[in-house]
Amino acid sequence: MTNPPDREVAIFSVARRLPAAERAAYLDRTCGGDAALRQRAEELLQASEKAGAFLRESAPGAQRPVEAASEADSAPTVPSTLPAEQIGERIGRYKLLQLIGEGGCGVVYMAEQEEPVHRRVALKVIKLGMDTKSVIARFEAERQALALMDHPNIAKVFDAGATNTGRPFFVMELVRGIKITDYCDQNNLPTRQRLDLFVQVCQAIQHAHQKGVIHRDIKPSNILVTLRDSVPVPKVIDFGIAKATNDQRLTDKTLFTAFEQFIGTPAYMSPEQAEMSELGIDTRSDIYSLGVLLYELLTGQTPFDAKELLQAGLDAMRRIIREQEPARPSTRLSTLLQVERNRVANHRQTDPLKLVHLLRGDLDWIVIKSLEKDRVRRYETANGLARDIQRHLNDEPVEACPPGAGYRLGKFLRRHKGPALAGSMVVLALAGGIVGTTWGLVRAERARQAEATERAAAGASETKAIAQKRVAEAVGTFLQQDLLRQAIGTEQADTVRRLGGEFEAKDNPTIKELLNRASTELTPEKIEAKFPRQREVQSAILRTVGDAFQGIGEYAKAVELLTRASNLYREDLGPNDPDTLATMDNLAQAYQSLGKLPEAIALLERVRVARVATLGAEHQDSVNSLARLGWAYQAVGKLDQAIEMFEQVRDSNLKKLGAERPDALSMLNNLGLAYQDAGRLAEATKLFEQVREASVQKLGADHPDTLVSIGNLALAYKAGGRLPEAIQLFEQVRDGQVKKLGADHPFTLITMNNLASAYDEAGRVTEAISLFEHVLDARIKKLGPDHPDILYTLNNLASAYQAAGRLPQAIELLEQVRQARIKKLGPDHPSTLLTLNNLGWAYQEDGKLELALPLLREAAEGMQKREFRHDYAAMIVPNLSGCLERLEQYAEAETWARSWLAAVKEQNGPESQLYARALAGLGLNLLKQQRWTEAEVVLQECLTAREKTQPDLFATFSTKSLLGASLLGQKRYAQAEPLLLAGYAGMEQREDRMPCGGDVRLLQTIERLVQLYQATDRPQQAAEWKKKLP
């Protein structure tokens, strides 16, 4: 039998790995119109099937001696009439106990050696039907390769020989373990521990390279993790297709890999292996495969999906491996569906956002350098790769990305000066797409357990893997068939017909429209009919689509579907199952977005308690639950509790991760925002400044994460009245994000929105309006007209119109936002109440107090129902009081002011900036009622608080003027004068940081000084001050 042509062998080698149902389509694509090629490939597949049946049946027969084969003959020999080895049979001094695996050309048994030592070993013998010249050469090469090496992370070779029928075998160390990816996921190893294992693998491969051996088939199933004294140890196995890299001969027989014949796993194959040219394979091919392994350890995915590679056809597969650039790990992770992102993150004891941050930077660079198409650009050695991982773990500069001087200096300072507090950045993530998952089964028994227990555990793991794969495939099919196919005109027409015209066909439907149509198939009756008694599939689909609705801002629909999903998970898996708790967590976020904060907090409390009980308080999932609970408490105005929670999370992350790891930095940002909301602006600003410094040193000044951290600092400066500094930083961030991310990226649009708001406050109204209008147009194009962010932008634009005196336009926009928010969020949602407040304020500015008052009162009463536990209350209640005062309804205004003051004192404490602001509001009300003595008491308390916490703010000097006014009303001129003079001087010096309405405060102070000097018979001074009035 002659050797088949190279191309048909290559096609056969790919097709035989595909499921039988997919082979015909693959052959159609690959063979095209070449009928002869198609026929030869099918004959090879048929022969392979027969050989497989023969091996299973162990039919008797005579095996031709290996040496009798022709040197050119690579086809299988005549099948043996002797049976395959049976359990209990002996090969030399080894008794076969159990079949534990099959390699490319060999069968591996667990065997018992009885002398000269008693131990269990792995015995590998060539497969029946595989005794070709090239296979025997590869088999013997593996034995010789292993014999050359002595390394703790490479399986040792003890013995070699031949069976009674002449088939070679060798005996090696029995590795009791499971493949490295399964071990990491089953034990939920954090990224750092995964990297520690990977470094040991690199060191093993380096040892092989130093012995002149390339592995050429590095993949998870060839790296088993075993336990030694309870410490995980990776072991590299299966050098079955190893190749010599120097002049030594691994075997006396020919070691030859046929041209265009794939040996190895395509997903792990280097571009030069896929090239199949005369270009020699060297050690850098293993570096590429190590890069793929690292990619999978970090993200749970390979750079190119193995199944998709096989289905693409030979030529397309080779082209993908040779030419297509893989996504960076952080990018790949951020594009997964939320359910998959959550699964990957949970296996690494973190949440998706933090995992993306962790991968972004050093680890992205290291992986991409390992996966370079041009092998000259890869790491030269496996040790070089391992050293770069160690540099990353030690917070040293990595080789993978040429760092600038600032980057190196930052690394050096952190190593030698110790940890410093740092903040993080607010990151938005959009879920998209679904990826197939390749599920591996346990390959060998778990260490130190009885064999029966090991087999049971392996079976359970296999069952779980199969079930999870089935669920993932069902979800993927639903998304493709029921969701995405709705974009096709014929599918839309069919849906319209079935639903009786509930939807109309569109040429280019939005994601919201597609989700709405798909969700019609998710009623309890329909989903049960589609997936009968497959509750795990139903819950996964409901959860996935619910998360998608939340992502586009359809919170009510998200709550509906996530509630059903969490109920199914709880009934089937129990209340403390990770999927149950993760779905409840997502449901709580939907409730919070919908403004149903009590429901959100109740769910988050339950999730937190369950995770602490099952995982422990220090588990990352438990820590993350505490953080989310902190955000909810912050939203309802329980700032003291929120800060306490954020500080606990900060301490936990610092303890486990260090001061400047991205996971630890992220919580510092949240803590800073809580400080700011609680009026602890100085602490917030200091924290954000540390965030900026740490981000610049670690990532560089123009890194996207650094730019976001600078944006957070700009927000703090803006809140503190430092508008020129805030605007400068916002403009810096905007320019950097446009360059790095693009002008329409969500982060860029957020920065532009914040910059426009700062322009508005600084009186640069024309620039503010222009920028708000740009952001509005960009967001509508990017997100669609119904997205919640559009309403926020419309609200901001209306504010700018109002500041520019374009009140009719402002009112028109606010009425539009009001109706949309009532429809989407309900009348009691905090955002709806804020819109009522803004619309009332606009009517008030337009002189239509009769229209303004009911709107402002409705907004304030909505906050009162919430016990003022929302940060919007700080705007809404004072605005109502101001409107009532303009209508001279001082008593009602005072009632609201005192109620607000009591709520703030209870919730935020008497030391907070918000409490000082509430005191100022009540004091101003009492001044207007000419209740001078009562006003003095209130304003003195306010000034004392502000001088203690914010001595340099404009508001502090405004309070001095108000206190002077209370003394002026009591005719205590000598005490009033220094307060009024100091108040005026301080406000005038801070004119560049003057808040909205500050000019009125300045003019009122001048008027009080004129009044004082006239009352004390000092006309010249009164005249001088009168000149300052407009």
* Whether 918 contacts 901, CB under 8 Å: yes
- Rounded Cα gap, residues 967 and 674, in angstroms: 37
Nearest to residue 175, comparing CAs of 221, 114, 225, 240?
225
Nearest to residue 108, comparing CAs of 127, 91, 90?
127
- Rounded Cα gap, residues 421 and 689, in angstroms: 10
* Whether 285 contacts 329, CB under 8 Å: no
* Whether 304 contacts 324, CB under 8 Å: yes
* Whether 126 contacts 168, CB under 8 Å: yes
Check 185, 217, 663, 705 and give the catalytic one: 217
Calculate ∠ Cα 433-437-441, nearest 5°.
170
DSSP state string for 848-867? -HHHHHHHHHHHHHHHHHTT
- Rounded Cα gap, residues 825 and 594, in angstroms: 6
Residues 6+ apart with CB under 8 A from 202: 290, 382, 383, 385, 386, 389
Indicate the burial class of 719 (C-beta count within 10 angstroms; 0-12, 13-18, 19 or more).
Answer: middle
Nearest to residue 920, comparing CAs of 906, 900, 903?
900
The alpha carbon dihedral of 76, 82, 85, 87 has a sign of positive
Q: Where are the beta strands (DSSP E) in 562-639?
A: none
Residue 861: how many other CB atoms lie within 10 Å: 14
Residue type, 892: E
* Whether 13 contacts 262, CB under 8 Å: yes
- Rounded Cα gap, residues 404 and 397, in angstroms: 10
Calculate ∠ Cα 660-663-666, nearest 5°.
85
Active site annotation includes 663: no
* Whether 544 contacts 339, CB under 8 Å: yes
Reduce the secondary structure of 875-904 to three states and give it as a string: HHHHHHHHHHHHCCCHHHHHHHHHHHHHHH
- Rounded Cα gap, residues 287 and 335, in angstroms: 26
- Rounded Cα gap, residues 122 and 97, in angstroms: 10
Question: In which residue are the tokens 């003079």 written?
Answer: 981
User: In the numeric block, which tokens belong to residue 424?
Assistant: 């993080």
End-to-end CA distance of the chain: 108
User: Helix 830-845 and helix 849-865: axis angle, to 10°?
Assistant: 160
**DSSP state letter for 129:** T
- Rounded Cα gap, residues 280 and 216, in angstroms: 12
Reduce the secondary structure of 71-85 to three states and give it as a string: CCCCCCCCCCCCCCC
**DSSP state letter for 806:** -
DSSP state string for 8-69? HHHHHHHHTTS-HHHHHHHHHHHHTT-HHHHHHHHHHHHHHHHHHHHHHHT---PPPPGGGS
User: In the numeric block, which tokens belong to residue 929?
Assistant: 């009622």
User: Helix 382-393 and helix 283-299: axis angle, to 10°?
Assistant: 30
Reduce the secondary structure of 650-678 to three states and give it as a string: HHHHHHHHCCCCHHHHHHHHHHHHHHHHC
* Whether 424 contacts 668, CB under 8 Å: yes
By annotation, the residues acting in catalysis are 217
